[in-house]
């Protein structure tokens, strides 16, 4: 291919984002329009961790409704994209070449961190998709290195989609919010992330827990780690920030798109 595929990070929000976060859904649709047609999609979601990198080799991955307490309508949604076993093999080869032993899981389906944003980005579900796990207890730096190892996929027509959250503190959420009041700490940390990404300050990002409200924003790290995979794969390309409205007062829904040295740093609302 003449140009590398982009890298995308989305904050996938609560499982009901497709039903209750129209700004985010519109954002995902717009990102889908901005990217070239990929040959396959590799998703790294905050909802799958393993002891070492594990990639799904399922030929027909199930739509996993890995949540409870939400609308039955949400449980009826299916995302019947074909799997990408060949891509799974390529991922294992790239990670092995980088000194990272990796496994395959022939049964793993697509969790809601994958199919929720993909339902808007690629609504036809006609692009092969597979998922790669995070590594349990591994650092932000280790996930950045994981992304660097996967960067060659961009030259092969593969879209790398990292799906997590810019903020993920349940104590900040008001599930019954009727106004758009935003938790100040969530706003401050979200803007700090945007500022550091805009100048590609990787060391500061890797030390995000020392940033204002960084540790509060992520009592556990799994929803922030996909961002580091994206940042590693981006390889210095400039980011484009999208800013859908916060969900439930404290859940930032920011998304980022990195494009082959040609990204427009203009913020999208």
Note whether residue 2 is domain-resident.
no
Phi, psi of 3 (to 5 degrees): -135, 150
Note whether residue 149 is domain-resident.
yes
Note whether residue 28 is domain-resident.
yes
33 Cβ contact partners less than 8 Å away, ≥ 6 residues apart = none
Q: Which of 214, 38, 211, 188 has the alpha carbon at shortest distance from 128?
A: 38
pLDDT score of 179? 61
- DSSP class of residue 251 equals B
pLDDT score of 177? 65
Enumerate the β-bridge partners of residue 131: 43
Note whether residue 166 is domain-resident.
yes
Note whether residue 120 is domain-resident.
yes
- Cα-Cα-Cα-Cα torsion 107, 120, 11, 94, nearest 10 degrees, comes to 50
Note whether residue 269 is domain-resident.
no
pTM of the model: 0.95
- How many structural domains are present in the chain? 1
pLDDT score of 266? 46
What are the pLDDT digits (tens) for 149-195?
999 999 999 999 999 999 999 999 988 766 678 999 999 999 999 99
| CA 219 – CA 228 distance, rounded (Å) | 17
Q: Which of 41, 18, 46, 252 has the alpha carbon at shortest distance from 120?
A: 18
| CA 172 – CA 115 distance, rounded (Å) | 25
DSSP three-state, residue 31: helix
Tell me how many degrees the CA angle 266-26-20 measures, rounded to the nearest 5. 130
Q: What CA–CA distances, in Å, run from 123 to 25, 28, 127, 198? A: 11, 10, 10, 30
Enumerate the β-bridge partners of residue 162: 9, 44
Query: Where would I find the beta strands (DSSP E) of the chain?
Result: 7-11, 40-50, 54-56, 103-105, 129-135, 158-164, 239-242, 255-258
Q: Is the dihedral of CA 156, 139, 111, 60 positive or negative?
A: positive
Note whether residue 1 is domain-resident.
no
Q: Which helix (H) or strand (E) holds 236?
A: none
| CA 238 – CA 103 distance, rounded (Å) | 32
Note whether residue 168 is domain-resident.
yes
Domain range enclosing 117: 7-258
CATH number of the domain bearing residue 106: 3.40.830.10
Residues recorded for the chain:
269
Which of the residues in the chain have pLDDT under 50?
Answer: 1-2, 263-266
158-164 vs 7-11, strand pairing mode: parallel
């Amino acid at each position: 291919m003449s140009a590398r595929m982009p890298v995308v990070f989305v904050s996938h929000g609560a499982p009901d984002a497709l039903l209750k976060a129209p700004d985010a859904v519109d954002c995902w649709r717009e990102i889908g329009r901005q990217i070239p047609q990929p040959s396959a999609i590799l998703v790294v979601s905050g909802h799958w961790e393993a002891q070492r990198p594990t990639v799904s080799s399922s030929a027909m991955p199930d739509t996993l409704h890995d949540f409870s307490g939400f609308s039955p309508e949400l449980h009826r949604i299916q995302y019947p994209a074909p799997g990408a076993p060949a891509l799974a093999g390529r991922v294992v080869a790239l990670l092995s070449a980088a000194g990272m032993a990796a496994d395959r899981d022939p049964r793993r389906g697509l969790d809601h961190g994958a199919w929720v944003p993909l339902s808007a980005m690629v609504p036809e579900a006609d692009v092969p998709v597979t998922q790669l796990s995070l590594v349990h207890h591994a650092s932000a730096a280790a996930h950045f290195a994981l992304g660097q190892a996967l960067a060659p996929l961009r030259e092969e027509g593969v879209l790398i989609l990292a799906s997590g959250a810019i903020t993920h503190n349940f104590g900040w959420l008001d599930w019954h919010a009727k106004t758009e009041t935003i938790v100040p700490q969530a706003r401050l940390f979200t803007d700090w992330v945007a500022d550091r990404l805009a100048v590609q300050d990787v060391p500061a990002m890797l030390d995000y827990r020392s940033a204002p409200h960084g540790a509060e924003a992520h009592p556990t790290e799994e929803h922030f780690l996909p961002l580091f995979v994206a940042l590693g794969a981006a390889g210095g390309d400039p980011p484009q920030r999208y800013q859908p409205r916060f969900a439930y007062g404290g859940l930032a829904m920011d998304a980022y798109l990195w494009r082959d040295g040609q990204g427009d740093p203009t913020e999208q609302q």
